Amino acid sequence: MSKLTLPEEAARRRTFAIIAHPDAGKTTLTEHILLAGGAVRAAGAVKARGDNRRARSDWMKIEKERGISVTASVMTFEHDGKMFNLLDTPGHEDFSEDTYRTLTAADCAIMVLDAAKGIEPQTLKLFEVCRLRDIPIITFINKLDREAQDPMALLDEIANRLQLDPSPIWWPAESGNRLRGMVQVGGDGRFQPYTKKPAGSTEDVPHPAALPLGEAAQYFEGSEQADLTDALELVEAGYKPFDRQAFLEGHMTPVLWGSALRHFGIEELLKAIGEWAPPPKVMPARKEAPPETRNAPTPEDITVEPGRDEVTGFVFKVQANMDPNHRDRIAMFRMASGSFKRGMKLKVQNTGKQLSVNAPIMFFASDRELAEDAYAGDVIGIPNHGVLRVGDSLSESGLVRFAGLPNFAPEILQRVRVKDPLKAKHLKKALEGLAEEGVTQLFRPELGSDFIVGAVGQLQFEVMADRLGEEYNLDVVFEPSPYAEARWVAPAGDGTRADLEDFAGKYRPQMAVDIDQNPVFLAKSAWETGYVSERFPKISLTKTKERG
Ligand code: G4P
C-alpha cells in the first residue's frame, strides 16, 4: 500500500518514449537506461529478452532479420523515488501510425541523434508528431565514442531545422579516439572523464568519478584542457541556460551527450528525465454517456487532473498473441487519473460495457507482473478477448471520453486472398484481429466478398503475411487492388444522411466499411478523390478518422 497521496503518486511518474532514426541507438540506449535505473543487471538483457520473446513468438523473426523493431511495448522501473514508464516506439517509417499512437501515451520524449549524422529523416518526422502533441523533448546525442560532427554544428542543426532552442547541459571534450569526457555547462565546471575500452578487452571499464575541470589534468593531453575551458566559456555565453518552463512549453530542448554502448552519459540522462520531464499531464476530455443512452445529459468538456479520484484512461495499443499458446490480447491502458486496484471494475465509454480487471499486467524489464495498484501515468496491460479496442476510453463511471486516437488513411491498398479457399472464414477472423490491433486497416467492400487491406507502408504487409502464417496458420497472397486511396465519408457542413446515401448509391461498387462499420470510399486515383469532392460538396472525404 502506498503511503503517498494520490497526487503525490501521480507526481512521481515519468512516462516517456525514445524517438530516433533507425540505427541511432534507441535499443542500446533503452538497455542502458534500464541498467542505470537498476531495472536490469547486465547489458544485453533487452536483447536477451527480445530473443526469448522471439522464441515464443516467431513472427518477431522479422524484427531480427531486418534489424528493426516493429512492436511497441512499455517497460516500467522505479529509481530514485520515481516511477519510470518507458514506452518503446517502433523506429521504422512504415510504422509511423503505431508510433503516433504510442506517443499519445507519452508525457515526454528523448530524441536520440547519432553524433556523426545529426538529424535524420525519421527523427524529423517523429519530432513533428511530438510538436503536434506538445510533448517536450530531451535531446541525447549518442555515439560520442566515434568520430562526431562539431558539437556546435549539431546544436545549430537543432536550432535551424527544428526551431527549438538547444540548451547544452554538458559539453563534450572531443569525440572518437580522442574523447576525454564532458564538462557541465553553467554549473561549477564539473568534469566527467571517459575511459576507453582497452583494445581486445571484452569487459567494460567504468568511467572515473566526476571532478572539477581544473583538477582533471591527468585526463587530457597537450592543450586539450585549456581548449575545453575556452570552449566552455563560449558555450556558456552563446547558448541560453536551461529554462524548464520553456522546455515544458516546447521551445527549448536540454541537450545531453554520451555513448549508449559505452554506458557514458546515461546516469546524467536518467537524472534529467527524473528532474525535468513532466509528471502526467492534465488531459482534456468529455463527460459523455455511451451512445444511445436514454435521457443522456448533454456532453460537456472537462479536464482530467492526474490526482482526480476516479480511474480514467485510454487504450493506445492492443497487442495480440504475445504468448501464442494463449491467444491473448492485451490492451495497453494509459492511466490519466485515479488510483487503480486489481479487481476493479471499469467501463468502456463508447460501448457501456463493464469489465473486471482481475489480471492487469505491469511490464517490468525482466518480467511481467500482476499490477496490484497503478496511478496516473502508468501503463497497464489488460488481457481481454477483443472487448477493448485502440482508442477506447475506460473509467469507473464509464462517462469519461478522451479525444480519439487518429486512424490515418492508408497509402497502399491491396486485396488479400487465402490460398486454401476452405479457410476463407478463418481469414476474416484473422484480418479482423489484426485490424483491431491496428497492424493494418481492413475494408470490406459493400459488393463482393473480397477484403481490402490498407497500410501506411509495404513492410506492414510483410509483417501481416508473417503473422497470418505463424499465428493463424494461413497462407495468404496479397494482390494489387484497383484502389489508390481510401477516404472516410461523412456528411459535410449542412449535408445530411440523405446526401451520404445519395453519394453511396452512385458509387456503390467503390463503397466499403471499415472495422467500425464506418463508410469508406475507395478511390481509384487521387484525381478521382478530388473530382468526387467537387461534385459532392455536401459530402466530406477525410484522410484521418478519430477513434474512440
Ligand atoms: P536502433 O534501435 O536505434 O536501431 O539502434 P541500436 O541500438 O540497435 O544501435 C544500432 C547500432 O549502433 C548497433 O550496432 C549498436 O551497437 C550501435 N551503437 C548504439 N549506440 C552506440 C554508441 O554509443 N557507440 C557506438 N560506437 N555504437 C553504438 P550494430 O553493429 O548494428 O549492432 P550490434 O551487432 O552491435 O548489436
**212 has which bridge partners?**
190
Q: Are 207 and 194 in contact (CB under 8 A)?
A: yes
ipTM: 0.97
Across 540-546, average pLDDT:
80
Grid look-up 503473422 returns 467
Q: Of the ranges 194-203, 292-301, 504-513, which one carries the lowest mean pLDDT score? A: 194-203
User: Residue 25 burial (CB < 10 Å; 0-12/13-18/19+)?
Assistant: buried
In this structure, what is the dihedral angle of CA atoms 274, 280, 282, 288, given to the nearest 10 degrees?
Answer: 170
**pLDDT tens digit sequence for 463-476:** 788 888 888 889 99
pLDDT recorded at residue 548: 47
Radius of gyration of the chain (CA): 25
**332 has which bridge partners?**
317, 381
192 pLDDT band (50/70/90 cuts)? very high
φ and ψ of 26, to 5 deg: -60, -45
Pocket of ligand 1 (CB under 6 A): 20, 22-28, 91, 142-143, 145-146, 259-261
CA-to-CA separations, 155 to 150, 158, 190, 192, in angstroms, rounded:
9, 5, 21, 21
94 pLDDT band (50/70/90 cuts)? low
How close is the Cα of 176 to the center of ligand 1, in Å? 15
| pLDDT surpassing 90 at residue 169 | yes
Q: Which amino acid is at 151?
A: P
pLDDT recorded at residue 70: 41
What is the residue-averaged pLDDT of the chain?
86
Query: Residue 488: which of 443, 421, 432 has the closest Cα?
Result: 443
Alpha-carbon distance 503 to 39, whole Å? 57
Alpha-carbon distance 474 to 471, whole Å? 8
Choose one of 28, 93, 123, 179 to mutate for the ligand 1 pocket test, by most ligand atoms within 8 angstroms of C-beta.
28
Query: Residue 409: which of 512, 259, 269 has the closest Cα?
Result: 512
pLDDT recorded at residue 2: 63
**pLDDT tens digit sequence for 430-457:** 898 888 777 788 999 999 878 999 987 7
Choose one of 66, 261, 266 to mutate for the ligand 1 pocket test, by most ligand atoms within 8 angstroms of C-beta.
261
Q: Are 456 and 507 in contact (CB under 8 A)?
A: no
Model-level pTM? 0.82
User: Residue 303 burial (CB < 10 Å; 0-12/13-18/19+)?
Assistant: exposed
Annotated binding site: 88-92, 142-145
Determine what percent of the chain is predicted with pLDDT higher than 70: 88
Across 35-63, average pLDDT:
51
pLDDT recorded at residue 324: 54
Across 343-356, average pLDDT:
94
**pLDDT tens digit sequence for 379-393:** 999 988 878 888 899
158 pLDDT band (50/70/90 cuts)? very high
Annotated binding site for GTP: 88-92, 142-145
Most distant CA atoms of the chain, gap in Å: 82
Query: Residue 100: which of 442, 391, 336 has the closest Cα?
Result: 391
| pLDDT surpassing 50 at residue 502 | yes
How close is the Cα of 287 to the center of ligand 1, in Å? 46
247 pLDDT band (50/70/90 cuts)? very high
407 pLDDT band (50/70/90 cuts)? low
pLDDT recorded at residue 262: 94
Measured in Å, how far apart are the chain's first and last C-alpha atoms? 33
Higher pLDDT, 142 or 27: 142
362 pLDDT band (50/70/90 cuts)? confident
| pLDDT surpassing 90 at residue 410 | no
